[in-house]
Amino acid sequence: MLEPGMILFEQDETNGFRVSCTPSEFSRNINGTVHGGVLMLLCEEAIARYILWIGRKGAASEAHIHYYRPAMLNERITAQITERKVGKKLGIYLIEVRNDKGVLLADTVTTIFFTDQQ
């Protein structure tokens, strides 16, 4: 799944919209777990793909991340998106990151400014 210098993402649209990856050694922080920036990157990748998937165009105008538990190296992590409120110009989304055991590792509340005209 991983190659040096990049994360390969997998998109799953069967049970809601999810994006997954398996961080390896290059994602390690000083504590020996996955760097928190990788979890945020997964959230950002998930929302970018989701916005395109629903046929919209936009950019994040705000994002707040909360970390609950560390992600472990070589452990698959998955971000799932839930729409909180969507209007013509703004969308607010909850993105939860869980490991394969279903443990909540982090979540973000992200606001998207839509740049298309709908």
- Domain regions of the chain by residue span: 2-114
Local confidence band at 22 (pLDDT 50, 70, 90 cut-offs) = confident
Q: Are 99 and 83 in contact (CB under 8 A)?
A: no
So what's the pLDDT on residue 55? 93
User: pLDDT of 56-101, one tens digit each?
Assistant: 999 999 999 999 999 999 899 999 999 999 999 999 999 999 999 9
Q: Kindly report, residue by residue over 23-45, the tens digit of the pLDDT.
A: 888 888 899 999 999 999 999 98
Q: What are the structure tokens assigned to 37, written together? A: 């920036």
Quick count: other Cβ atoms within 10 Å of Cβ 22?
18
Q: Give CATH for domain 2-114.
A: 3.10.129.10
Is residue 2 predicted with pLDDT exceeding 50?
no
